[in-house]
Amino acid sequence: MLHFVTFVVGFLLSWGFLSSLQDPPSCRCRPWEPCWPDSHQWTSLNASIDGNLVHVQPVGSVCHDPHYDAVACGDVLDLSRNSGWRASNPATLQDWIWETGSGDNESCLLVSSSERPQEIPCHQGRLPLYSAAVKSTAHVQGVVRFAKDHNLRLVIKNTGHDATGRSAAPDSLQIHTYFLKDIHYHDNFLVHGDATGSGPAVTLGAGVVHSEVYKHGIDHKYSVVGGECPTVGIVGGFLQGGGVSSWSGFTRGLAVDNVLEYQVVTANAELVIANEHQNQDLFWALRGGGGGTFGVVTQATVRAFPDDPTVVSTLVLSSTRADTSFWVKAISRLLSILRSCNQQNVHGQLIITRPSVDILNAGLTLHFSNMTNVLHAETLLQPHIASLSEDQISTTLTSKFVANINSELRLDADIHPRGIGTLQTSMMISNELFGSSEGPLTVAQVFGKLPIGPNDLLFTSNLGGCIAANKGLDTAIHPAWRSSAHLVTYVRSVEPSIEAKKLALKEITNKYMPILYSMQPSFKVSYRNLGDPNEKNYQEVFWGEKVYKRLASIKAKLDPDGLFISKLGVGSEDWDTEGMCYQPQNRVSQPLRSLKYFLLVLKDT
């Protein structure tokens, strides 16, 4: 032990180690400071990435003086509803909420002149000042190096679907990975460093969105574990944050359970391969540790599965009844059906919407994987339907055979209501609760306390099944993923105003999350990709103490200067809200902080 202590002390006192423990810059460089790159340096960066640097202007500027243009404003108002257009544009996120700051002087709301007078000035808000539409790994390396050399705030946008606005930050330089579109199918993928193949797989560039890989899968007869939204980038935050699939998670696991290899540009601008044989710490961290935190992922290789036939059955309940007790009873019964189906290896999803002020809809969609007989599926459901009828709960059942699941998924970009923003939050339902005698009723009672407006949404995603069976996998997700039955996601719509945004953010944290967590107060676990944007205890809620400590130690080793900081991400507790200024919470010196992480690393080895 004495020799060990002597070694540690001697190593720490060496000039080389101490020099690596310098504090990160107190703040990133801002445009008004002498350290900000001059026009020649920006021009040089642009040339080095083949002219793909964009000086970002808010798309709403054409709806405001002095750039007002009635025709252009009308065009942008229409385009802004298209999720695909928003994904491809460096000046847009998927939601205006995260494009704006906290005041009118930090926004450029995209609304017609009748809703917001054109003479109201347009401001940059949270949008980056520059965006690099990278087309190669060399481009990514060049931008990372430029940001590091000039001490710039760096953000990464894939498609901008992030639910807490991590794809943007004020006065930042953005890496836009949307145009890295390579897709390559492998009959038997050989992981770097491995002597044997890993079976069918597909390598996806960072900018490939779900609809693109699903279309490719139709042509090549394979499927992957993916999400439902067609314009979400599969390799970005979706995969790196865990990757929940409502239609295949139960049978295939989480997306991170099925990633074989990453290609990554690290904080020192080095291009590396991360898998189970090399850069293992980085590989582990990227399987659940969150996007925009450990490097810029330029491509990933994930397992490919047969595109199996499926029978899809949907039970729909729609009523104008405002009786809360009726709806609690009805939702409880639908959840009981879902629980029974799960026990028979049939997975599903409950979706609750309010298509109009007077009507509430509840739909339970069930997936009978590897089944071809529609009549057989409906026969299995008949006892449940009969039981509902006895309780005066009227439902409509529709079923169809789907020869390949890819063709059933949404392939066209979503068109959103004009001007409406959304905030999302989530929580998990434990197996213990859902499997209890009163589990479905308890869940339904909590659902009944949540307001569902005409543009709001409440839905479940089936966990359990293969997700639970994969509990032996060493991934960076919260351990509770393996012991949870369902993920609940609540989507709150927001009218286009700063005041409405502030109110909605406050209500998500102070009103709706307490309601959801009242379901099982001792079990507070949420999905980082869809978590409360103001979550104070995010380390525990998103990852759990043990996983977070390991992630923090890896972050300290790979990115000691905090080049990759994302909101509520690993290491972000030492930075301000926008990741601009270094503000360690405990105010200890960086050497002591780094010593703590060094000892954690030694402990793990």
Q: What is the DSSP string of 191-205?
A: -TT-SS---SEEEEE
pLDDT of residue 419: 80
Measured CA to CA, the distance from residue 176 to residue 205 in angstroms comes to 12
Measured CA to CA, the distance from residue 301 to residue 307 in angstroms comes to 18
User: Domain 39-176, CATH 3.40.50.10300 — does that match?
Assistant: no
Q: How confident is the model at residue 2 (pLDDT cuts 50, 70, 90)?
A: very low
Q: How confident is the model at residue 6 (pLDDT cuts 50, 70, 90)?
A: very low
Q: Does 329 have pLDDT greater than 60?
A: yes
- pLDDT tens digits, one per residue of 8-41: 444 443 333 343 445 567 999 999 999 999 999 9
pLDDT of residue 13: 37
The angle that helices 590-604 and 2-13 make with each other, rounded to 10 degrees, is 140
Residues in the chain: 605
Which is higher by pLDDT, 121 or 244? 244
Task: Using the CB atoms, write b or e for 368-403: b if 16+ within 10 Å.
Answer: bbebeebeebbebbeebbeebeeeebebeeebeebe
Q: Does 352 have pLDDT greater than 80?
A: yes
- pLDDT tens digits, one per residue of 210-222: 999 999 999 999 9
CA torsion through residues 442, 448, 449, 455, sign: positive
Measured CA to CA, the distance from residue 265 to residue 273 in angstroms comes to 9
pLDDT of residue 160: 95
**C-alpha to C-alpha distances, 332 to 316, 325, 449, 523, nearest whole angstrom:** 14, 10, 14, 20
- pLDDT tens digits, one per residue of 407-438: 889 899 998 888 889 999 999 999 999 999 99
Q: Are 496 and 111 contacting, i.e. CB atoms less than 8 angstroms apart?
A: yes
| Number of C-beta neighbours around residue 193 at 10 A | 12
Average pLDDT, the chain: 92
Average pLDDT over residues 265-270: 99
Beta sheet of 172-176, edge-to-edge order: 53-55, 130-133, 172-176, 153-157
Beta sheet of 271-274, edge-to-edge order: 183-186, 201-205, 296-303, 259-265, 271-274
Average pLDDT over residues 247-270: 98
Q: Does 585 have pLDDT greater than 60?
A: yes
pLDDT of residue 592: 44
Q: Does 599 have pLDDT greater than 60?
A: no
Return the amino acid letter for 74. G
| Number of C-beta neighbours around residue 605 at 10 A | 5
- pLDDT tens digits, one per residue of 373-390: 999 999 999 999 999 999
Q: Are 312 and 399 contacting, i.e. CB atoms less than 8 angstroms apart?
A: yes
Q: Are 56 and 91 contacting, i.e. CB atoms less than 8 angstroms apart?
A: yes
Q: Are 421 and 494 contacting, i.e. CB atoms less than 8 angstroms apart?
A: yes
pLDDT of residue 23: 59
Please give the CATH topology (third level) of the domain spanning 310-540: Vanillyl-alcohol Oxidase; Chain A, domain 3 (3.40.462)
Beta sheet of 484-494, edge-to-edge order: 396-402, 310-319, 359-369, 347-356, 457-462, 484-494, 421-430
- pLDDT tens digits, one per residue of 269-297: 999 999 999 999 999 999 999 999 999 99
Going from N- to C-terminal start, the domains of the chain cover 39-176, 183-303, 310-540, 546-605
Q: Does 550 have pLDDT greater than 50?
A: yes
Q: Are 311 and 332 contacting, i.e. CB atoms less than 8 angstroms apart?
A: no
Which is higher by pLDDT, 313 or 17? 313
pTM of the model as a whole: 0.92
Q: Does 604 have pLDDT greater than 50?
A: no
H or E segment to which residue 317 belongs? strand 310-319
pLDDT of residue 24: 65
pLDDT of residue 589: 39
Q: Are 175 and 155 contacting, i.e. CB atoms less than 8 angstroms apart?
A: yes
Measured CA to CA, the distance from residue 98 to residue 201 in angstroms comes to 35
Measured CA to CA, the distance from residue 176 to residue 71 in angstroms comes to 28
Give first-to-last CA distance, the chain, whole Å.
Answer: 16
- pLDDT tens digits, one per residue of 432-491: 999 999 999 999 999 999 999 989 999 999 999 999 999 999 999 999 999 999 999 999
pLDDT of residue 357: 84
Q: Does 603 have pLDDT greater than 70?
A: no
pLDDT of residue 567: 96
Average pLDDT over residues 558-573: 97
Give ∠ CA 80-86-90 in degrees, rounded to 5: 120
| Number of C-beta neighbours around residue 506 at 10 A | 11
| Adjacent-strand bridge partners of 314 | 365, 398
Task: Using the CB atoms, write b or e for 548-567: b if 16+ within 10 Å.
Answer: bbbbbbbbbebbbebbbbbb
- pLDDT tens digits, one per residue of 116-150: 778 888 999 999 999 999 999 999 999 999 999 99
Q: How confident is the model at residue 113 (pLDDT cuts 50, 70, 90)?
A: low
Please give the CATH topology (third level) of the domain spanning 183-303: 3.30.465
Return the amino acid letter for 93. L
Residue 292: HSE in the Cβ half-sphere, 13 Å Cα cutoff: 31
Q: Does 496 have pLDDT greater than 70?
A: yes
Average pLDDT over residues 393-412: 92
CA torsion through residues 582, 587, 592, 595, sign: negative
